[in-house]
Amino acid sequence: METECNMCGGMVQVPEDVLRGEIVSCPDCGVDYEVTEIQNGTAVLRAAEEVKEDWGE
């Protein structure tokens, strides 16, 4: 299945067997998305949070 990228409008490929919480990326701009739910055979995506390194702070 495909979903439109919110940043660039490109098409993000989402595997048919995707699970909630999986990360998919836009091949055009590289933005990472988290699959939040599946509605009527369409994946609902939101921008994935960036995990920053903890340098012992």
Is residue 26 within 8 A of residue 7, CB to CB? The reply is yes
Task: Give me the pLDDT at residue 35, please.
Answer: 94
Whether the pLDDT of residue 9 is over 80: the answer is yes
Burial of 25 (0-12, 13-18, 19+ CB in 10 A): middle
* Percent of the chain residues topping a pLDDT of 90: 61
Task: Give me the pLDDT at residue 20, please.
Answer: 92
Task: Give me the pLDDT at residue 55, please.
Answer: 73
Whether the pLDDT of residue 56 is over 80: the answer is no
Task: Give me the pLDDT at residue 43, please.
Answer: 87
Residue of 56, 26, 53, 24 lying closest to 34 (CA atoms): 24
Phi, psi of 41 (to 5 degrees): 80, 10
